[in-house]
A and B are shown apart, each in its own frame.
Chain A
Amino acid sequence: MNFVFHHRRISGILAIVPANERSFVDEMANFNFPVARSLKLKQVMGYDKHRLVDGPVCASDLACFGFEHLFENGLLHPGEIDALYVVTQSPDYFMPPTSSVIQGRLGLKQDMFCLDINQGCAGFLIGLYQAFLLLDQPSVRKVALVNVDVMSRKVSTKDRNSYPLIGDACAITIVERSADPSPIHANLKMDGTRREALMIPAGGFRLPSSPATAVLEDDGENNFRAKDHLRMDGSSVFNFVQVEIPPLIQDLLKTAHATTEQVDYFLFHQPNRFMLQKLAEAMKVPFEKMPSNIGEHYGNSSGVTIPIAIAHNLRERLGKGTIQACLAGFGVGLTWASMLMPLGPLEFCDLVDFTLNKDQEELECMNLKSN
Chain B
Amino acid sequence: MPAPVESLFEALHRTRRGSTNFFAAREQVEQWTALGLLSWVETKDCLLIFRRSRDLHHVCHVASSADALTDALASSTLPKGPLVSDLVGRENDLAPMTSAYQTAGFRKHTALIRMVRMVDDSLPCQEHSDVAFAGPSDIADIRAFLLKLLDRFADQIPEEDELRSAAARQNILIVRRHRELGGVLVFDRTGLSTTLRYWYVHPEFRSEGIGARLINVFFRLSRGSRRIVLWVVQDNTASVEKYRHYGFQKELLMDQIMTRKNTIEEVLKELRPEFDFTASDDFIGDGMLDSHDVVTLVSDLDRIYGISISGIDIVPEHFQNIAAIEQLIRKYAAEP
Chain B binds chain A: yes
Query: Which of A191-199, A277-285, A288-296, A308-316 forms part of the interface with chain B?
Result: A277-285
Which residue in A160, A221, A239, A274 is a CB contact (below 8 Å) of B312?
A: A239
Contact B296 A275 (CB under 8 A): no
Taking CB as reference atom, which chain A residue is nearest B313? A242
Contact B311 A282 (CB under 8 A): yes
Which residue in A41, A220, A239 is a CB contact (below 8 Å) of B292?
A: A41
Contact A241 B311 (CB under 8 A): yes
Overall SS of chain B's interface: helix
Q: How far is the CA of A281 from the CA of B307 in the complex (A)?
A: 11
Contact A278 B291 (CB under 8 A): no
- Contacts of A40 on B, CB cut-off 8 Å? 271, 296
Interface positions, chain B 300-326, Cβ under 8 Å from A, are 308, 310-312, 314-316
Q: Does B290 contact A (CB under 8 A)?
A: yes
- Contacts of B295 on A, CB cut-off 8 Å? 41, 44-45, 238, 274
Q: Does B209 contact A (CB under 8 A)?
A: no
Taking CB as reference atom, which chain A residue is nearest B312? A242
- Contacts of B272 on A, CB cut-off 8 Å? 37
Contact A281 B314 (CB under 8 A): no
Q: Does B299 contact A (CB under 8 A)?
A: yes
Contact A242 B296 (CB under 8 A): no
Contact A281 B291 (CB under 8 A): no
- Contacts of A275 on B, CB cut-off 8 Å? 311
Q: Does A370 contact B (CB under 8 A)?
A: no
Q: How far is the CA of A275 from the CA of B311 in the complex (A)?
A: 8
| Chain A 235-267 per-residue mask, 1 if CB under 8 angstroms from chain B, else 0 | 100110111000000000000000000000000
Contact B291 A235 (CB under 8 A): yes
Taking CB as reference atom, which chain B residue is nearest A223? B290
Given A44-B295, A161-B291, A221-B290, A278–B316 Cβ distance below 8 Å?
A: no
- Contacts of B290 on A, CB cut-off 8 Å? 221-222
| Chain A 94-126 per-residue mask, 1 if CB under 8 angstroms from chain B, else 0 | 000000000000000000000000000000000
Residues of B within 8 A of A (CB-CB), count: 18
CB distance from B299 to the nearest CB of A (A): 5
CB distance from A224 to the nearest CB of B (A): 14
| Chain A 3-46 per-residue mask, 1 if CB under 8 angstroms from chain B, else 0 | 00000000000000000000000000000000001001100110
| Chain B 228-247 per-residue mask, 1 if CB under 8 angstroms from chain A, else 0 | 00000000000000000000
- Contacts of B308 on A, CB cut-off 8 Å? 281
Q: How far is the CA of A222 from the CA of B274 in the complex (A)?
A: 15
Q: How far is the CA of A275 from the CA of B299 in the complex (A)?
A: 11
Q: How far is the CA of A161 from the CA of B295 in the complex (A)?
A: 12
Q: Does A234 contact B (CB under 8 A)?
A: yes
Q: Does B203 contact A (CB under 8 A)?
A: no
Taking CB as reference atom, which chain B residue is nearest A222? B290
Taking CB as reference atom, which chain B residue is nearest A41? B292
CB distance from B192 to the nearest CB of A (A): 46
Q: Does B287 contact A (CB under 8 A)?
A: yes
Contact B311 A221 (CB under 8 A): no
Q: Beyond the given A45-B292, A221-B287, A238-B295, could you list 18 further A-B residue pairs with CB under 8 A, ordered by the A residue number?
A: A37-B271, A37-B272, A40-B271, A41-B292, A41-B296, A44-B299, A161-B292, A222-B290, A235-B315, A238-B291, A238-B311, A239-B311, A241-B311, A242-B311, A242-B314, A243-B312, A274-B295, A282-B311
Could you pull out 28 A-B pairs where Cβ atoms are within 8 angstroms? A37-B272, A37-B292, A37-B296, A41-B292, A41-B295, A41-B296, A44-B299, A161-B292, A221-B287, A221-B291, A234-B291, A234-B292, A235-B294, A235-B315, A235-B316, A238-B295, A238-B314, A239-B311, A239-B314, A239-B315, A242-B311, A242-B312, A242-B314, A274-B299, A279-B311, A282-B310, A282-B311, A282-B312
A-B CB proximity, top 10 nearest: A242-B311, A278-B311, A221-B290, A234-B291, A44-B299, A235-B291, A242-B312, A40-B296, A281-B308, A44-B296
